[in-house]
Amino acid sequence: MRFLFAILFIVTSSTVALSQNSESSLVDTTAQVILQLNRAMEEAFYANDYLKLASFYSDSAVLIGEKHEIKGRTAIDNYWVGLNGRGVAWSLENISIDHCGDMAVQRGISTLTVKNANGDNFVSKVRFTLFWKKYNDTWLIEIDHYSLF
């Protein structure tokens, strides 16, 4: 009987360890995918492909800034296309990515340089929080919230 309990204990312990490793691996994979999406967003920016950049957002996405809220596909597309001819530089710095199921939350710092109305460079540095949602096998931004600092 003790032998049976010992085997049951070993099997149960192994299963728990494997599931914890699988979960940890899944979280790491999710973070890696989101960081790759960040790089792809930057690449789209440097290629002046603002519609591609907007495509990282879901059709129902909301972009919330200091004094505005932009909702939906058309508005998000227009927001990014509005940078056409004005975009100079952009980088996304990751602080953290937390994952649960088909949702992930990313916090970071965005540094965006654009030409203002006078043609001078203006640097906008903000803290951001992105709520990513997985649609089928594709991660898309559902909520993009940022604040100046």
Q: Where are the chain's structural domains?
A: 2-148
The overall pTM is greater than 0.95: no
- Nearest Cα to Cα of residue 146 among 88, 68, 52, 81: 68
d(CA 13, CA 34): 32
Amino acid at 112: L
Paired tokens of 2: 């003790």
Which CATH architecture best describes the domain 2-148? Roll (3.10)
Per-residue pLDDT of the chain (149 residues; tens, 9 = 90+): 443 333 333 333 333 333 334 344 444 799 999 999 999 999 999 999 999 999 999 999 999 999 999 999 999 999 999 999 999 999 999 999 999 999 999 999 999 999 998 999 999 999 999 999 999 999 999 999 999 98
Q: Is 76 exposed, middle or buried (0-12, 13-18, 19+ CB in 10 A)?
A: buried
Q: Are residues 41 and 108 in contact, defined by beta-carbon separation less than 8 angstroms?
A: no
DSSP string, 12-33: HHHHHHHHHHHHHHHHHHHHHH
